[in-house]
Chain A
Amino acid sequence: MITFIIRRLLISIPVFLGITVLIFTFIALAPGNLADALIRPELGFDQAAREAILKRYGLDQPLPIRYLLWLANALQGELGYRVNSGSAVGSEVMRGLINSIILTGSALVLGILVGVPLGVLSAVRQYSKIDFGLTAVTFLGISLPSFMLGLGGLYLFGLQLRLVPIAGMTSVGKPFDFVDFLRHLALPCLILGFGYAAIFLRYTRASMLDVIHLDYMTTARAKGLPNKTVLSRHAFRNALIPVITLIGLSIPEIVGAAVVTEAVFSWPGLGLMMVEGVNDRDYLLIMGITLVLATTVLVANLMTDVSYGFADPRIRYN
């Protein structure tokens, strides 16, 4: 197992570098650059000021040199500075990442904790009233975009009923208060969590139904095992593999994929920061965020592969 992990990590390095080269090249080739964003059109076109900006940010160097400079700095944890505020990209990205993980991560955990058990229940009681009800709710959870639920929820619970605060992570101008923070988190987290719960319910149900009618289940029942043991040890463990894959695929989403929900609730996460970066044409910020994103994707893939081994002893890495 350990050699497998090490080998996978070693393979990840060139993949990772490849991704950064690709993104760097694309970003550099994109029309419009920092100088265009910084020089205001109403001030008129000033060639000298433009060159000064290009030089100051190292944009006058050839592309490979620029990439190597960026990489050398990035390896030392130095990701450059943001255009609009001048603050360090590294610490800004970290702050956004933590905020995004708080929101999307908690929603994902909520979704798994609610969706997986209900999915098992739905499959075990196939065609029962509970199953019909859960399937209908699941359909809504999967079809209704969290965007619309967010706007509706904000309007209803935030603005009309005044049950929850309408924006941000904490109340402005007050010392940090955990209860206050939870009230800010509640609505966006529930809305995202509802979507995740629906997806996990549907996957778990389908996956359980696939194994529940297999011969070895009958065998296990025939040799007199209690129903509970058969379901938990024989069925659930085998049904878990697709669910683990889904968890692995969902993990990269904690890096700000809930952009729109972050925007609706003014949650200062990585997704919203990326939108700012696009508007400011802040390529260092975009590079920093993509770096975090690529790392998360690679780590999540590795974790998924490793966890297969725990769920299914037939899978061995050698």
Chain B
Amino acid sequence: MAVKEAAAPPAVEAASARHASPGRRALRRFLRHRLAIVGLITIAVITLLAVIGNEEKALALNLRPGFPNQPPGALPGFPLGTDALGRDVLARTLVGGRVSILVAIISVAIATGIGTTVGVISGYSGGKVDSVLMRFVDIVLSFPTILLLLVVAFLVGPGLVTMMIMIGLVTWASGARIMRGQVLTLREMVFVEAARVIGVSGPRMIVTHILPNIVAPLVVFATFGVATVIVFEASLSYLGLGVQPPTPSWGNILQQTRVVTVLERYPWQWVPAASFIVMMVLAVNFVGDGLRDAVDQRSTSDR
């Protein structure tokens, strides 16, 4: 992705970067990534819109004749029209974004937490613990995530909170594998060995020496995770197994399109939510790509 940026002469960069700290250098690489900046701004705007969405308006029914299924501009005060129950599509889309983004953040936090814990324990302990944990990760990874989610949805039933937890519970495995790889290389480094020689205990070693050094891949994993989870939320809610109405979410707004009439005749009811999902997912991926290039030292001149 960062191919265009690679055009900057490496010598110039090396000279200017000589005195900068690694973090500052990473920041500079990130800022040079134009698409990532565009992505970051897009995310900020969508999040801001989601925060200012009017919850009262999103839930207010209006079943009087002449109110349901009105196109944009037909009714004053309903700039994007109304849905089948006469609710304001704009407010529902914005508040729906709030729910979707919240699900994404919490699920990713859970997945990152579990993934890091398992990965660090596995990589740091090595031996039997490592092989058992990694076999388990392999098994989790070899099942299609969405089908695992369906099984879990069957077990715990649909709902907002359960969905956050269950998405977190089925998406941590790839994170664990990434973290383990990082820890394996760190474990052999001289400074870790030195710390061990002076008698630093296992837990302290992990907290003060290992974790700070794997933050970068952790952040990249979490960023891409947000895009994945937004799609999972949309998918589950679309199938009727996620966020339950009347609470709006991008996914369950799209659920209305399972009625062909809505899909065909009332595009204003679902196109805004669908566009927000697409924009959000693309933006998050741009940012993720930018971050990955920024923290990956190898990628400065290559790729």
A positions within 8 Å CB-CB of B: 23, 26-27, 29-32, 127, 131-132, 135, 139, 142-145, 147-148, 151-152, 154-155, 159, 166-167, 249, 252-253, 255-257, 259-260, 263, 271, 274-275, 277-279, 281, 286, 290, 293, 297, 300-301
Q: Are B234 and A154 in contact (CB under 8 A)?
A: no
Residues from chain B with Cβ under 8 Å of A148 in the complex: 274, 277-278, 281
| Contact (Cβ within 8 A) B147 A293 | yes
Specify which chain A residues have a CB less than 8 angstroms from the CB of B129 in the assembled complex.
none
Residues of B within 8 A of A (CB): 1, 3, 139, 141-144, 146-147, 150-151, 153-157, 227, 231, 234-235, 238-241, 254, 257-258, 260, 263-264, 267, 270, 274, 277-278, 281-282, 285, 289
Q: How far is the CB of A27 from chain B (nearest CB, A)?
A: 7
Q: How far is the CA of A151 from the CA of B271 in the complex (A)?
A: 10
Q: Which residues of A contact B157 (CB under 8 A)?
A: 31-32
For B257, the chain A residues whose CB sits under 8 A away are 151
A31 to B152, CA, bound (A): 12
Task: Give the CA-CA distance A159 to B142 in the complex, in Å.
Answer: 37
Q: Is the CB–CB distance between A277 and B154 below 8 Å?
A: yes
Which residues of the other chain, B, contact A143 by a CB distance below 8 angstroms?
227, 281-282, 285
Q: In the complex, what distance in Å separates the CA atom of A277 from the CA atom of B147?
A: 12
- Known pairs A148-B278, A278-B150, A300-B142; A132 contacts B3 (CB<8 A): yes
Given contacts A147-B231, A155-B267, A263-B239, contact A281 B277 (CB under 8 A): no
Rounded to whole angstroms, the CA-CA distance of A281 and B153 in the bound complex is 10
CB of B259 to closest CB in A, whole Å: 12
Q: Nearest A residue to B288 by beta-carbon distance?
A: A143
Interface centre among B151, B156, B263, B277 (most CB of A within 10 A): B151
Interface contact A30-B146, CB-CB below 8 Å: no
> Which residues from chain B contact A166 at a C-beta distance below 8 Å?
260
Known pairs A271-B147, A297-B139 / 17 extra A-B pairs, C-beta < 8 Å: A23-B151, A132-B3, A143-B282, A145-B234, A145-B235, A147-B234, A148-B277, A151-B254, A151-B270, A152-B274, A249-B141, A249-B142, A259-B146, A277-B154, A297-B142, A297-B143, A301-B142
Report yes or no: B235 in contact with A260, Cβ–Cβ below 8 A. yes
For the complex formed, measure the closest distance between the CB of B125 and the CB atoms of chain A, giving whole angstroms: 23
For A262, the closest partner residue in chain B by CB is B239
Query: Interface residues of A: mostly helix, strand, loop or mixed?
Result: helix
Closest residue of A by beta carbon distance from B156: A30
Contact B239 A275 (CB under 8 A): yes
User: Which residues from chain B contact A252 at a C-beta distance below 8 Å?
Assistant: 142-144
Instruction: Report Cα–Cα, A278/B278, bound state, in Å.
Output: 28
CA distance A212 to B241 in the complex (A): 47
- Check B146 against A263 for contact (C-beta < 8 Å): no
A144 neighbours in B (Cβ, 8 Å)? 278, 281-282
The answer for the CA separation of A135 and B2 in the assembled complex, in Å, is 11
Whether B241 pairs with A275 at a CB distance below 8 angstroms is yes
The answer to whether B274 touches A151 (Cβ under 8 A) is: yes
| Nearest-Cβ distance from residue A196 to partner chain B, whole angstroms | 13
Tell me, rounded to whole Å, the shortest Cβ–Cβ distance linking A119 to chain B.
Answer: 15
Nearest residue (CB) in A for B251 is A147
A257-B156 Cα distance, complex, nearest whole Å: 20
Query: Known contacts being A145-B234, A300-B142, is A256 close to B1, with CB within 8 Å?
Result: no
A152–B285 Cα distance when bound, in Å, is 20
| A286: chain B residues within 8 A (beta carbon) | 151, 154
Residues on the A chain within 8 Å of B285, using CB: 139, 142-143
By beta carbon, the residue of chain A nearest B138 is A301
Contact partners of A30 in chain B: CB under 8 A? 154-156
Residue of A whose beta carbon sits closest to that of B271 = A155
Residue in contact with B146 in the complex, picked from A135, A139, A260, A297, CB distance below 8 Å: A260
A-B contact pairs, 13 of them (CB 8 A): A139-B289, A145-B231, A155-B263, A249-B142, A257-B144, A259-B146, A259-B150, A260-B238, A271-B147, A275-B150, A278-B241, A286-B151, A293-B144
Decide if A274 touches B147 in the complex (CB within 8 Å).
Answer: yes
Choose one: B3, B154, B239, B260; the contact of A260 (CB below 8 Å). B239
Within the complex, what minimum Cβ distance (angstroms) separates A288 from chain B? 12
A256–B154 CA distance with the chains assembled, in angstroms = 16
Q: Are B150 and A135 within 8 A (Cβ)?
A: no
Do B263 and A27 have beta carbons less than 8 Å apart?
no
Task: Tell me if B241 and A145 are in contact (CB < 8 A).
Answer: no
A279: chain B residues at CB < 8 Å are 240
Interchain nearest-CB distance for B25 vs A (Å): 24
**Closest A residue to B153 using CB positions:** A278
A213 vs chain B, min Cβ distance (A):
10
A97-B234 Cα distance, complex, nearest whole Å: 24
10 smallest beta-carbon distances between A and B, as pairs: A257-B144, A143-B285, A30-B155, A278-B154, A145-B231, A159-B264, A260-B235, A297-B142, A253-B144, A274-B150
